[in-house]
Copies of this chain bind each other. A is one copy, B any other.
Amino acid sequence: MAVFQRFQRLQTVQLAARWLKPQTCNKAVHKTVTETADRRGHDAAPTRRPFSRVTTEDIGFFSELLPGRTVTDPDVLEACNVDWLKSVKGSSEVLLRPQTTEEVSRILRYCNERNLAISPQGGNTGLVGGSVPVFDEIILSTALMNKILAFDGLSGILTCQAGCVLENLSQYVEERDFVMPLDLGAKGSCHIGGNVSTNAGGLRLLRYGSLRGTVLGLKVVLADGRILDCLAKLRKDNTGYDMKQLFIGSEGTLGVITAVSILCPRKPKSVNVALLGCSSFQNLLETFQICRGMLGEILSAFEFLDASCMSLVEKHLKLINPITESPFYIVIETAGSNSAHDEEKLHSFLEKVMASSLVADGTVATDDAKIKALWSIRERITEALRHDGYTYKYDISLPLEKIYDLVTDMRAHLGNRARNIVGYGHVGDGNLHLNVTSPAKDAALLAAIEPYVYEWTQKWRGSVSAEHGLGLKKRNYIYYSKSPEAVRLMKDFKTMLDPKGILNPYKTLPDDGC
């Protein structure tokens, strides 16, 4: 058990602060962010479509429907108009905070009749400019739709309103011996409705699969106010087309999700996290293969970061790397029902990868605080990047063996034009987060990155948005991953469900239509 001792060096790991809550809908001022509408050049805003402008009569209607929950205070609106990355900014003058599906229905029916555009907003933690208005769209917040409606302790099926914060749901089901099937860095702020609308992936997808399998039911309000009740609480239902799938991942452009039922797995009795160092990406991939074979059913995450990511979290967040410096780091999590079995599997695996020199160094955590500390290195990379400067973010799916080649190629391609070029992500899902930072917004740098990065991805038949969605920022790159036929069909669906195009306009669909 020499390896076992070697992996017990956890005293050096510091407990990380929680993910910093995005400052959404508070009185923080974001005057420095240029309004999206005023943008020129490569990321110019689309043209405002001929929606009606909000009148005092409209405000009167909303105030009567939602007394005290129709917000026109410019300070509050300022915060809700800006995304978490402070990269886009709308100019909405009304924020609506409904509490029920019926209220959402009345709002949408009214807006559809009046031809008023709507920007649905959950926790506003999206990374592609999908959760804030582009112009003066009315912001429809799910924040007050935050009730848990039911939980079945036998089946693990949770039913709740769309505005429940993911972390609150996690806590609720964990107290009942279950876990949420998804987990992501933004859990302290993001809403389950937003997670479903964007088909959020995150850290547990490897183990529990995507929301397309775990979401069992939805209640959705359509553009004209019709309520579509597909809030089934059944694991199986093959009675006709699965309508709810259309609303998963359509980013609020086809309907507003107001309630969700979701299947929660049993809470594991034993969790272990290991941080390992690898000398090459090839070694990392071989480690992954061995890991899947030896850890099998208890493997719940296999994440990676490169040395540049580690430097950034050390530099900007003062986190400490508890192991020897390496070109690549792996975060492995196991979750199982028997701690002795899990530890034995993990140690056999570690012995094997250390003996074969695939892994150069590593450390294991089994208690909660140390587990959080190790996870924070991986989870807080986004935050560290924000401190590093203006960040160009790419969220790419590729065939597994190709995922790091894109980072290497991008470094060669950009040379010293960027401040940092880093790669991290979900190895198990073939999902790379490529990030490029620069001291400030840099049109020349952007022109060097795009469309190069998208062409590269297309060449390997990857996805230009693995889990972040398209939102405003990526909408026009859809053709790099989708056929014209598929996009045409998307537009047909949009036209059918939202003929006036009032729901989250300028998002997801490319500008060449809709």
| A486: B residues at CB distance < 8 A | 228-230, 240, 243
A-B pairs, 7 with minimum CB distance:
A296-B337, A213-B213, A245-B245, A237-B463, A236-B466, A209-B213, A341-B341
| A512 CB to nearest chain B CB (Å) | 13
Known contacts A155-B399, A338-B341, A400-B154; decide if A241 and B249 are in contact (CB<8 Å).
yes
Which B residues lie within 8 Å of A503 (CB)?
none
Listed in ascending order, the chain A residues whose CB lies under 8 Å from chain B are 152, 154-155, 198-199, 201, 205, 209-210, 212-214, 226-230, 232-243, 245-246, 248-250, 254, 266, 268-269, 285, 289, 292-298, 335-338, 341, 344-345, 397-401, 426, 428-431, 461-470, 474, 477-478, 481-483, 485-487, 489-490, 492-493, 496, 508-509
- Which residue of A238, A399, A496 has the most chain B CB atoms within 10 A of its CB atom? A238
- Min CB–CB distance A498 → chain B (angstroms): 12
Q: Are B430 and A234 in contact (CB under 8 A)?
A: yes
**Cβ–Cβ contact B401 & A238, under 8 A:** no
Say how many copies of this protein the assembly contains.
2
> Min CB distance, A257 to chain B, in Å?
14
Q: Are B399 and A241 in contact (CB under 8 A)?
A: no
* Docked pose: A239 CA to B240 CA in angstroms: 25
Q: Which of B294, B426, B465, B489 contacts A238 (CB 8 A)?
A: B465
Shortest A144–chain B CB gap in Å is 25
On whether the beta carbons of A461 and B232 are closer than 8 Å, the reply is yes
B463 and A430 contacting across the interface, CB-CB below 8 Å: no
The answer to whether A478 and B228 touch across the interface, beta carbons within 8 angstroms, is no
Shortest distance between the CB of A196 and any CB in chain B (Å)? 12
Q: CA of A485 to CA of B218 in the docked complex: distance in angstroms?
A: 13
Known contacts A238-B199, A297-B297: does B470 contact A233 (CB below 8 Å)?
no
Q: Which residues of B contact A496 (CB under 8 A)?
A: 492-493, 496
Closest to A201 in B: B236
Report the minimum CB–CB distance from A472 to chain B (whole Å). Answer: 14
